[in-house]
A = this chain, B = another copy of it.
Amino acid sequence: MAEVEFWYEFGSTYSYPAAMRIERLAADAAVGVRWRPFLLGPIFKAYGWNDSPFNIFATKGRYMWRDLTRICAADGLALKLPPVSFPQNGLKAARLALIGEHDGWTPAFTRAVFAANYAEQKDIANEGTLREILAALTVDADAAFAAANALDNKEALKLQTAEAASRGLFGAPSFTIGDELFWGNDRLEAALAWAQRA
């Protein structure tokens, strides 16, 4: 079965609609999805950015929020300004999403974290927020946090981020099919079509 790798960062606005719609579109296209959380911070640092592009390029930031508002409205997704201003700290959530692969709860966890951040005005850097999400998925939160914070998982997230950078990723969401890179929620359809043909 053809597969697309879905690279996302919990602090990335456009990763939210992508996470909410990718499985439906991928199923329609008969393409599998590999969920790949990573961190944009280290990649942005390489551009000399130590803040969210939303803040650095304020005019563009204002536009992007308006654009995201239109997109979420068209997709029937709730959208509210996160309680914590950009950049968002998605480190804990990303470590959990990575460890969730072993037991298969990464997609549902990811969607719940995006909804908490962008629809429910919850702070996703707060452990309590993440514990509530895990509990709703009937995942043992203590065990999940212990595994997420273990050295090998921290290292695995660093490696995942380094792989993203080495494969030419510079933003999120991104989609890869082998060496073919697609960037942006608005390229999801094209990425799935590419995977079908590949």
A-B contact pairs, 19 of them (CB 8 A): A47-B57, A57-B170, A59-B168, A59-B170, A60-B170, A60-B171, A62-B168, A63-B168, A63-B170, A63-B181, A63-B183, A66-B181, A67-B182, A67-B183, A67-B187, A70-B190, A184-B186, A186-B186, A186-B187
Alpha-carbon gap, A66 to B176, bound state (A): 13
Interface band, chain A:
10 to 19
Residues on B with C-beta less than 8 A from A60 are 170-171
Binary contact track A23-42/B, C-beta < 8 Å → 1, others 0: 00000000000000000000
- Among the interface residues A63, A186, A190, which one has the most CB atoms of the partner chain B within 10 A? A63
Taking CB atoms and an 8 Å cut-off, the chain A residues in 137-177 that contact chain B are 168, 170-171
Binary contact track A182-198/B, C-beta < 8 Å → 1, others 0: 11101100100000000
Alpha-carbon gap, A70 to B170, bound state (A): 19
Residues on B with C-beta less than 8 A from A67 are 182-183, 187
Residues on B with C-beta less than 8 A from A190 are 70
Alpha-carbon gap, A75 to B46, bound state (A): 34
